[in-house]
A and B are shown apart, each in its own frame.
Chain A
Amino acid sequence: MPQAAQVSAWFTPTALMTGALFVAACAYVSSVYLIGDSRRRGEPEMVRYFSRRAIISGVVTGAFASGNLILLHGSAPFVFHRLIGPALPLVALSIAAGLATLVLVALQRLMLV
């Protein structure tokens, strides 16, 4: 393959969406841990601060993950069909865990106010 085609593989919509998904997921995981740490340190202001960011980044992460799945359907059907085939239980676990974490963060935020 020519060099230009190789480099352009890093800038396809799927590649960019995967990168954005990773950044959003890191922010989400980190904000959830920071809620727990702030609570242990007895800083309700910081618990509120990171809860708000956890909910926002969680919703963004979910949106990017759904978008990525749609993009994979067109650009990498072999990955898409394995995700909805053999890997479906793991995908379902990931969606369920992501939603449960969002609900728990939202609930503890409500109880804090």
Chain B
Amino acid sequence: MTASPESIAAGLALLATIAAYALFSGADFGGGIWDLLAGSSKRGAAPRAAIDASLTPVWEGNHVWIIFGLVLLWTAFPAACSRLRRCWRRSF
């Protein structure tokens, strides 16, 4: 089986999207992890202020990547998407 140039291009776009999601939204989640682990409110005040200052302007905006990735998945690979959704539904 050989993939068409279109599906290779869509696959590369999907790879880039997943990488962007991991790098940008991953950093959102990571900020929450370091906030959680910063310790008592006195000891953790400075790192929490730094995390707030860095994340407040971008918080949640980075999740645009997973939305774009899902749209790419069901537009370019509908069969794989339906298969994944069926597995997902059956797991619960």
Identify the A interface with B (CB < 8 A): 1, 6-7, 9-10, 22-23, 25-31, 33-34, 37-38, 41, 43, 45-46, 49-50, 53
CB contacts under 8 Å to A, within B1-48, are 22-23, 26-31, 33-34, 46-47
Contact A30:B53 (CB < 8 A) given known A9-B91, A46-B46, A46-B47:
no
How would you classify the secondary structure of chain B's contact residues: helix, strand, loop or mixed? helix
Tell whether A34 pairs with B26 under 8 Å between CB atoms, given A6-B90, A6-B91.
Answer: no
Q: A7-B91, A9-B91, A10-B91 given as contacts; is B31 within 8 A of A46 (CB)?
A: no
Q: Across the interface, which residues of B come within 8 angstroms of A53, CB to CB?
A: 34
Number of B residues near A (Cβ < 8 Å) is: 19
Question: 19 A–B contact pairs at CB < 8 A?
Answer: A1-B90, A23-B29, A23-B33, A26-B26, A26-B27, A26-B29, A26-B33, A29-B30, A30-B34, A31-B30, A33-B27, A34-B50, A34-B51, A37-B50, A45-B46, A46-B50, A50-B34, A50-B50, A53-B34
Chain B interfacial positions (CB closer than 8 Å to A): 22-23, 26-31, 33-34, 46-47, 50-51, 53-54, 90-92
Q: In the assembly, what is the distance between CA of A49 and CA of B14, in Å?
A: 35
